[in-house]
Amino acid sequence: MAKVIFLHGTSSCGKSTLSKAIQSQIDQPFWHFASDQLVEAGMLPKRVNDGGAFDWKINRPKFFEAFHLCIKAILDAENNIILDHIIESHEWYEEQKVLLSGHDLFFVGVHCPIEVLRQREIEREDSNIGNRYRGEAEYHLKHVHTYSEYDFEINSNEKSVEDTASQVIEAWSKRPKSKFFE
């Protein structure tokens, strides 16, 4: 059974940075997997909202359907992952429950104050505030943390990333049955 440390939080809350820190500290092999990695790899055509061949409004749902199926494939091949992801809707939550069932899940809420989120969004090189989903920190804060109770929660702005990673690993090592599937 593959193990999953699911880091869930808003865009720019520090999930990717925390994932890398956990990966470097944990005593077992874990893949770090995030949809941003697929985008950063350059595998997608240029995203536009112009009605053209790769209109992001049309292709975004297809992209995330494929990403979610990749999560399942990685886990079903018995690879442990640190999943760096945002559940954006109740439908996605229900889908993740099915895809992640049968695996050892630890669901972590990653929180960060709105002022810090806004600043991080401004500083992100790939951010196009106001024109893409990224930049909607207020929306994320209202909705992202509403789908399930967490097995553990952290504020990514309170301690160093190394200390926060250590906290997550310690809580993971003592994990009970995940609340995610309830």
CA 167 from centre of chain: 18
Q: What is the pTM of this model?
A: 0.88
Cβ atoms within 10 Å of 101's Cβ, excluding its own: 11
**What band does 35 get if pLDDT is binned at 50, 70 and 90?**
very high
Range scoring the smallest mean pLDDT among 11-20, 38-47, 118-127:
118-127
CB 40 within 8 A of CB 65: no
**What band does 132 get if pLDDT is binned at 50, 70 and 90?**
very low
Average pLDDT estimate for 36-56? 84
137: domain CATH number?
3.40.50.300
Q: Which domain holds residue 50?
A: 3-181
Number of compact structural domains in the chain: 1
pLDDT score of 37? 92
Q: What mean pLDDT value characterizes the chain? A: 88
**Which is more confidently placed, 166 or 179?**
166
As a whole number of angstroms, the distance between CA 51 and CA 60 comes to: 13
CB 151 within 8 A of CB 108: yes
pLDDT score of 40? 87
pLDDT > 80? residue 176:
yes
Q: CA 47, 50, 53, 55 torsion: positive or negative?
A: positive
Q: CA 79, 42, 44, 15 torsion: positive or negative?
A: positive
**Which is more confidently placed, 118 or 145?**
145
Average pLDDT estimate for 98-116? 92
Q: Where are the alpha helices (DSSP H) in the chain?
A: 15-25, 35-40, 56-76, 90-100, 114-123, 137-143, 161-173
